[in-house]
Amino acid sequence: MPTLSPSAFQARKCERGVGLVDQMQAGDRRALSRLVSIVENGGEDSRRALAKLYQYTGRAQIIGVTGPPGAGKSTLVNELALEFRRRDTTVGILAVDPTSPYSGGAILGDRIRMQPLGHDPSIFVRSMASRGQLGGIARATGDVVKVLDAAGFNKIIVETIGAGQAEVEIAREAHTTVVVEVPGLGDDVQAIKAGILEIADVFVVNKADREDAQKTQRHLQAMMQLGGAPREDWPVPIVMTVATKAQGIEAVVDAIESHLSHLQTTGHFVERERQRVEREFRSILQGLALDLVQERVGPEQRAAVVARIQARQVDPYTAAERMLADALGVAELK
């Protein structure tokens, strides 16, 4: 990590043209860390940063790790990172924990299990609060992933919050989704949420040192057989691990690498990327349209329209069309 005196840091902030993105590209980890905060906080600065660094993105493999609370996700991510390093691969980690709905604050504890990653400059660990977003990741997680991608990490691992639901959001952001299950969460197939079949590219049965691990594996197998033909022609592997003893880790990393090759050789990689980019572009467009309307139509006027909708004097579809047409300065949308 390059060291800077406080005054040097301030001075570099002011140098024209040498912004945080340039500093990050030159390997400055503090600039990276600052950029993550800026992007996490959103707004105009975030948009400018993303516009500048987008050209450097698209190179990393994005790996989602999801599963119920306490399944051993952080312990596993720690071991995966160590194994990637043994294979000379650099790793950025983003660990998401829930924001308290009462205070808006959060305790981000995933890092406790990642202490062995230590002082290695080829590993970067960042904790992130979900900030009210449902679905296991924060609204800005995808954008923060871009910052890590631009910084040049080969693999980016995103640990979702342990909600125990099918975390569809992470599967949309990631190339490879690792679903962690543990023995003893209930014996019938129902206990394992059906939705995870649609998102898992690799199943891990962690805590295989516990009783009933084989049973959990058999249930997963049975579920997949019920699920019919494999999605994207990829037979989802099931790997048994004991993360606390670093057992089974190589097999998980092998499975993650095989999945990447599979996506690439079959053309699914390009297709997934296209879908992701399109979805993202659409949501940005929606956001911009909303911003535009809010900018050009005053709050009283908007409130008045809402009141008319509530009074059933106009329907929300027609009202929205009219307001967008007004904001765009056209007589009619269609």
Ligand X SMILES: Nc1nc2c(ncn2[C@@H]2O[C@H](COP(=O)(O)OP(=O)(O)OP(=O)(O)O)[C@@H](O)[C@H]2O)c(=O)[nH]1
Residues that bind Mg ion (CB under 5 A): 73-74, 110
Question: Minimum Å distance from CB 222 to Mg ion?
Answer: 28
Q: Is 98 in the site for ligand X (CB under 6 A)?
A: no
Instruction: Give residues in contact with other proteins (CB under 8 A).
Output: 1, 3-6, 8-10, 13-14, 16, 18-21, 29-30, 33-38, 41-43, 45, 48-49, 52, 99-100, 102-109, 111-112, 115, 118-119, 124-127, 129
To ligand X, the closest distance from the beta carbon of 1 in angstroms equals 26
Least distance (Å) from ligand X to the CB of residue 193?
15
**Would you say 126 or 219 has its CB closer to other proteins?**
126
Among 20, 137, 242, 256, which residue sits at the site for ligand X (rule: CB under 6 A)?
Answer: 242
Locate 317 and state its tokens.
């579809």
CB atoms within 10 A of CB 154: 16
Residues 6+ apart with CB under 8 A from 2: 27, 28, 29, 30
Query: What is the rounded distance in angstroms from the CA atom of residue 297 to the CA atom of residue 292?
Result: 8
What's the closest the beta carbon of residue 14 comes to other proteins, in angstroms? 8
Query: How many angstroms separate the CA atoms of 56 and 33, rounded?
Result: 17
* Residue 312: contacted member of Mg ion, other proteins, ligand X, none (CB under 5 to 8 Å, by partner type): none
List C-alpha distances in Å: 58 to 151, 152, 186, 200, 270: 11, 10, 40, 22, 11
Contact criterion met (CB below 8 Å) for 256 and 63: yes
Interface of this chain with ligand X, residues 173 to 232, rule: CB under 6 A: 206-207, 209-210
Q: State which residue has the least CB distance to Mg ion.
A: 74
> Which among ligand X, other proteins, Mg ion, none contacts residue 69 (Cβ within 5 to 8 A by kind)?
ligand X
| CB-based burial, 262-299: b 16+ in 10 Å, e otherwise | bbeeeebbeebeeebeeeeeeeeeeeeeeeebeeeeee
Residue 14, contacted partner among ligand X, other proteins, Mg ion, none, CB below 5-8 A by kind:
other proteins
Which distant-in-sequence residues (6+ apart) come within 8 Å of 158 by Cβ? 62, 63, 64, 65, 93, 94, 95, 96, 137, 141, 145, 170, 173, 174
Residue 6's binding partner out of ligand X, Mg ion, other proteins, none, with CB under 5 to 8 Å set by partner kind? other proteins
Least separation in angstroms between residue 16's CB and other proteins is: 8
Report the C-alpha gap between 205 and 214 in whole angstroms: 9
Measured from the CB atom, the residue of 75 and 216 that comes closer to ligand X is 75
What does the radius of gyration of the chain's CA atoms come to, in whole angstroms? 23
State the residues that interact with ligand X by CB under 6 A. Answer: 69-75, 110, 113, 162, 206-207, 209-210, 242-244
